[in-house]
Amino acid sequence: MTRTPSSTLQHDKQTQDLLSAHTLSELFHATALPTVLLKDGKFVAANTACASLLGLSSAEALVGLTPLDFSPALQPGGEHTQQRINETLGAAVARGANEFDWEAMHRDGTKLYIRINLTALHIEDDLIIHAVLQDVTRERAQRDQLSYIAYHDSVTELPNRHQCLTDLGPLLRQEGRKDVCIIKVGIDQFSYFNNVFGTAFGDELLCKVRDALLKVLRDGDRLYRISGGRFAILLEGITNRNQAIYNCERVLQLFESPVGIDGFKGRILISLGCSLVDGYDIDAETLLQESQIALSEAKSTRQGSYMLFEAEMRQKRDRFLTIREELRRALRNNELELYYQPQVDLRSKRIVGAESLIRWNHPIRGVLPPAEFITIAEDSGLIVEMTRWILQQVCHQGALWKAAGWNDFTLAVNLAAKHFEYGLVQQDVQLALESTGLAAEHLELEMTESALFEHTDVLVSLLDKWRTQGIKLAIDDFGTGYSNLAYLSQLPISKLKIDQSFIRDYVRNKNHRIIVQTITLMAKSLKITTLAEGVEEESTRTLLYAMGCDAIQGYLISRPVPVKEFETLIADQLV
């Protein structure tokens, strides 16, 4: 073509003259991409796709209107929309182009999230802004949903521990800030209530406690569910111990009357642990940990009481030192054992893999689950030696099962975040595979989202190497961490393990079903398989299958079992 659009566009203050070239006009109106032209801040031309996106009957209806006519008064960041319009248009003129996300309003009043690409065109003496719009409302909704999951507890819908640390950190970093206090609230015998009356009762109990605690909050106080039967209250303006004690006593008074839940009526005991800045520098993790130490002290002294953190309580670390030495002995004396929990494909109904789970055959305390010692293993650095042993055992066992005729399987090993700090993960994985002869495609490495984000720089190249080699990567407890959509598309992730907190009450909880469906659909679009953890009911399996989930793991299939018991489960798949 010898003629350009700019040579055919002549400005005589009439909109049609901006599109006087017949070919350009057809292209503009026929394109499926919502497109609009602006001059002096007003729409001077639009195509049908743009009108449809905004809920108008015709493109002509847009002419003469402004972006403000289709936008709320404030954008999500709190900035006034007109100010934001001026900034984005100004940036397009200054740079020639600009891309940004925008909150708009459909003609029926519903919110739209639009990704806009602006291009500044100088035509004769006129400045025309060419805008292409992309509807990202669904993408934004998924991102917001997963972000909510990452920062909120699914049972109480309160902000979670991650949000607590996020809120607490900036307060403690403020110079001279010495009036911050944490009250950790623990439901006494919460595990007993869960075990005896069931998890539904436990969930209702958590919500009853939440409702009571919300009533006692002052303006500016914040409430979080930390984990299990524990909550935390973040208070500001607490400058001395007497104020802290006063607030602790106010909380305890809430629980002096009996509580009724599903036929049960009785008093629920609550213990409190309180930590305050008290004139010295402290970070968020430490302040929260000190409140937990104080809570543990209160529970052990007298349930239904409170305790303020004292420096002497740090002697509790004696337990850490004792268990650390016992763990070292356990590694030397072969006291550790691996159990395996099967993973079943929902379509074939066959066992296609297993997660390896460590147990400690303690000479005095009996069989201990990982919750009793993994944290201390991580904090002491023993997790590296322990994981090295696990990798060797899993790969050796996998090679034996492969030789026995089990062909289509993967064995999963959990990798702790601390392991990556020592820079030996790749070496340990490779050594385990080479020394046992297990093919790499039978090994799956599980990581939590927090571990992934803590060591992103190290992992990017390492994960690519593992993918090339055939090793699979699974994200464990998905939905309880960062849940950032970006990393799912950027890293070679093969499986998402949907956290059991969403599966446990899946059939009866509509919100949990929506969350699981969102994760499943998103994973399928990224060609990532999904596995639901903690499946205990046949009705849950049926719904997960209908929703398109790929595999399940949980007590419905089997508890974690030793090697010999696991082999009976896969007996029909062995030669």
pLDDT for the residue numbered 118? 93
The predicted structure's pLDDT at residue 290: 85
Inter-helix orientation angle 137-151/161-173, to 10°: 80
pLDDT higher for 118 or 448?
118
Give residue 486's pLDDT band: very low, low, confident or very high (50, 70, 90): low
Residue 278 in tokens: 């008290």
Count CB atoms within 10 A of the CB of residue 313: 17
Residues 23-57: tens digit of each pLDDT: 556 667 777 889 999 999 999 999 999 999 999 98
- φ, ψ for residue 479, nearest 5 deg: 105, -10
**DSSP structural state of residue 33:** S
> What single letter denotes the amino acid at residue 506?
Y
pLDDT exceeds cutoff 80 at 222: yes
What are residue 406's phi and psi, to 5 degrees? -85, 110
If 0-12 CB within 10 Å is exposed, 13-18 middle and 19+ buried, where does residue 253 land? exposed
In sequence order, the 6+-apart residues with CB closer than 8 A to the CB of 235 are 180, 181, 182, 183, 218, 221, 247
Tell me what pLDDT residue 23 has.
Answer: 55
Q: What span, in angstroms and rounded, lies between the C-alpha atoms of 104 and 134?
A: 12
Furthest-apart CA pair in the chain: how many Å? 93
CA–CA distances in Å: residue 412 to residues 55, 296, 355, 423, 445: 50, 34, 5, 20, 6
Interatomic CA distance for residues 432 and 426, integer angstroms: 10
- pTM (predicted TM-score): 0.51
Any idea what DSSP says for residue 70? Answer: G
Q: Of the candidates 69, 36, 30, 71, which has an alpha carbon nearest to the alpha carbon of residue 50?
A: 36
Tell me the H-state helices in 254-381: 284-301, 317-332, 374-380
Question: Which range, 74-78, 392-396, 444-448, 460-464, has the best average confidence (pLDDT)?
Answer: 392-396
Residue 534 region, left (φ>0) first, then alpha (ψ -120 to 50), else beta? Answer: left
In this structure, which amino acid lies at residue 114? I
More confident residue, 248 or 477: 248
341 has a pLDDT exceeding 90 = yes
Residue 240 has pLDDT above 50, yes or no: yes
- Of residues 449 and 249, the one with the higher pLDDT is 249
DSSP code per residue over 370-407 = GGGTHHHHHHHTHHHHHHHHHHHHHHHHHHHHHHTT--
* DSSP at 69: G
Distance CA 501, CA 155 (A): 8
Q: What percent of the chain has pLDDT over 70?
A: 89
- In the predicted model, what is the mean pLDDT of residues 482-501? 77
Q: How confident is the model at residue 455 (pLDDT cuts 50, 70, 90)?
A: low
Structure tokens at 384: 């590296």
What pLDDT, in 10s, does the model give residues 516-528?
888 899 899 889 9
With beta carbons less than 8 A apart as the criterion, state whether 130 and 96 touch: no
The predicted pLDDT at position 394 comes to: 97
Distance in angstroms (rounded) separating the CA atoms of residues 290 and 293: 5
Whether the per-residue pLDDT at 363 is higher than 90: the answer is yes
Give the per-residue pLDDT at 528. 93
**Average pLDDT of the residues in 228-256:** 92
What count of other Cβ atoms lies within 10 Å of the Cβ of residue 539? 12
H/E element holding 552? Answer: strand 551-552
Q: Please give the average per-residue pLDDT across 504-532, as a whole number.
A: 87
Q: Look at residue 92 and tell me whether its pLDDT is greater than 70.
A: yes
Tell me the per-residue pLDDT of 541-572, one tens digit each, with 9 for 90 and over: 999 999 899 999 999 999 999 999 999 999 87
Q: Which domains does the chain have, with CATH numbers?
A: 5-135 (3.30.450.20), 143-309 (3.30.70.270), 331-573 (3.20.20.450)
Average pLDDT on 499-513 reads: 82
Token pair for residue 242? 């007497």
Q: What pLDDT, on the 0 to 100 scale, is given for residue 481? A: 56
